[in-house]
Amino acid sequence: MEIDDLWRDMKEDKGIHRETLTLKKVNESKNPIKILRKNLLANLVFGLVISVVGIYLMFLFPAISIQISLGVLILESQYFHWQIYQRIRAFNQLLKNWDQPILQTLQDQLTLTRKTLRMIEIRSMIFLPLAYLAGLLVGGSGDGVSADELIMNVPFLLKGMGLALLTMPLIYFLMKWMHKKAFGDFIEQTEKILKDMEIS
Amino acid sequence: MDEKKFLQLINTHQGTIFHLLGLYVPDSADKDDLKQEIILQAWKSKDKFRQESSFNTWLYKLSLYTILTSKRKQEKIQQVNIEAAENLPTIEKPEQRKADLLYACIAGLDDVSKTIITMHLDGFSNAEIAAFLGVSINNLGVKLHRIKEKITTHLKASNHGDR
């Protein structure tokens, strides 16, 4: 068969590339899955540290309104920390299972990546209003004004919520843009490979 | 398997790694990155090497898997300019020119077609290729037939151009 002969000739002509290969730890892997996994890990660690700071603030500020807002925020973040942890485990499994059919792996990669990015974007939206409230109460209390009085102050609340509503879409779309820059090509390439395998 | 023996095997069969990197990854920085990823992945997975197939076959599949699952950038070179390939300078050996044209055709295919035809030309059976990809053998057979037709058409067109 002509193509087979040409292929064999081509391989012979290209010759043997020789260098000494060594085992080096890949510190800065550019594999998008590994990058996303690393980001999740950093997110998890940072989130846990912030939760500890939040618990400390709860002891520092005994006002009921601060306790409640920080408490809800901390509980909410633990839910997302659990989700992040599950995603990290799923990515680890994906990186280990290299010998399953490749189209299955690519489909799993795509689904997991999309779900993870979406989770991060939604988390930033859900967190913001409560985080703003807790922050304003902590920052605004003192000098004879208690947080419990502040929470009854409608103009104060409106300012806080107005700020949250203004920045929520900005941060959400900023996250989406950053994710598109970082992972857009990878997602597009993977979708293309999966589409190419569909027989028309 | 210890690290020394592992690296001996990898170095003996390094041609497999470079052969696939040459076809799938035009960017040299990406090539270096992927080369290291492949070696690291092979090291982590060495216990999965079951001796049911040769080390070369195992390394081939692992390399291809790593390349396909790590692709990041749109490879501009993928849309090979067949006309440019056909305008290669006339050289004394027409077989060499055809071999270059074949290489250009295959390098310019989409990743799935490239995988199918490369594995086929490198001696894998349809059953092995289908299992690697995760498709039915019939599906694969149809795709392979179309890819070969496409390549043959390009080669024939180039033949006529030479006359």
The structural domain count of chain A equals 1
Closest residue in A to B47 (Cα) is A96
The number of residues making up chain A comes to 200
- pLDDT beyond 90 at A66: no
Sequence ranges of chain B with CATH classification 1.10.1740.10:
1-73
In chain A, how long is the greatest CA-to-CA distance?
91
Residue numbers in B near A3 (CB within 8 A): 102, 121, 148, 151-152, 155
Residue A145 sits at φ, ψ, to 5 deg, of -105, 120
Residue A142 sits at φ, ψ, to 5 deg, of 115, 175
What pLDDT sits at residue A110?
93
Q: How confident is the model at residue A147 (pLDDT cuts 50, 70, 90)?
A: low
> What are the residues whose beta carbons fall under 8 Å from the beta carbon of A27, sequence distance 6 or more?
none
Class of domain B76-163: mainly alpha
What pLDDT sits at residue B78?
44
- Tens place of pLDDT per residue across chain B (163 aa): 788 888 888 888 888 898 899 888 888 888 888 888 899 888 888 887 776 678 888 899 999 988 888 765 545 444 444 444 444 444 445 666 777 888 888 888 888 899 999 999 999 999 999 999 999 999 899 999 999 998 888 888 776 655 4
- A4 belongs to a structural domain: no
> Which DSSP string do the residues of A45-95 spell out, in sequence order?
HHHHHHHHHHHHHHHH---HHHHHHHHHHHHHHHHHHHHHHHHHHHHHHHH
Q: What is the pLDDT of residues A19-29, one digit of tens each?
A: 777 777 655 67
Say which residue, A16 or B47, is predicted with more confidence.
B47
Q: Measured between CB atoms, does A198 come within 8 Å of chain B? A: no
Q: Is the ipTM of this complex over 0.90?
A: no
Residue of B15, B99, B113 with shortest CB distance to A16? B15
Residue numbers in B near A17 (CB within 8 A): 14-15, 18
Taking each helix axis from N to C terminus, what angle separates B126-133 and B111-121, rounded to the nearest 10 degrees? 150
Indicate yes or no: CB of B134 within 8 angstroms of CB of A6: no
For a pLDDT cut of 70, what percent of chain A falls above it? 88
Q: Collapsing DSSP states into helix, strand and coil, what is residue A145?
A: strand
- pLDDT beyond 70 at A106: yes
Sequence ranges of chain B with CATH classification 1.10.10:
76-163
- A172 belongs to a structural domain: yes
- A9 belongs to a structural domain: no
Min Cα separation A106/chain B (Å): 7
Residue numbers in B near A108 (CB within 8 A): none
> What are the residues whose beta carbons fall under 8 Å from the beta carbon of A142, sequence distance 6 or more?
none
CATH architecture of B1-73: Orthogonal Bundle (1.10)
Q: What is the pTM of this model?
A: 0.79
H or E element at residue B86? helix B82-86
Residue of B40, B103, B112 with shortest CB distance to A193? B112
Residue B157 sits at φ, ψ, to 5 deg, of -65, -40
- A52 belongs to a structural domain: yes
What pLDDT sits at residue B163?
46
- pLDDT beyond 70 at A181: yes
Residue of B43, B69, B72 with shortest CB distance to A109? B69
Q: Mean pLDDT across chain A, nearest whole number? A: 83
- A182 belongs to a structural domain: yes
Structure tokens, A168: 């929520």
Indicate yes or no: CB of B30 within 8 angstroms of CB of A30: yes
Touching A: B residues 18-77, CB under 8 Å? 18-19, 22, 30, 33, 35-37, 39-41, 43-45, 48, 61-62, 64-66, 68-74
Touching B: A residues 158-177, CB under 8 Å? none
- A23 belongs to a structural domain: no
Min Cα separation A34/chain B (Å): 10
- A198 belongs to a structural domain: no
What pLDDT sits at residue B72?
59
Q: How far is CA A94 from the centre of its chain?
A: 17
- pLDDT beyond 80 at A14: no
What pLDDT sits at residue A180?
92
- CA-based end-to-end distance of chain B: 56
What region, left, alpha or beta, does residue A82 occupy, with left being phi > 0 and alpha being psi -120 to 50 degrees? alpha
Domain extent, residue A152, equals 29-191
Q: How confident is the model at residue A117 (pLDDT cuts 50, 70, 90)?
A: very high
What pLDDT sits at residue A41?
93
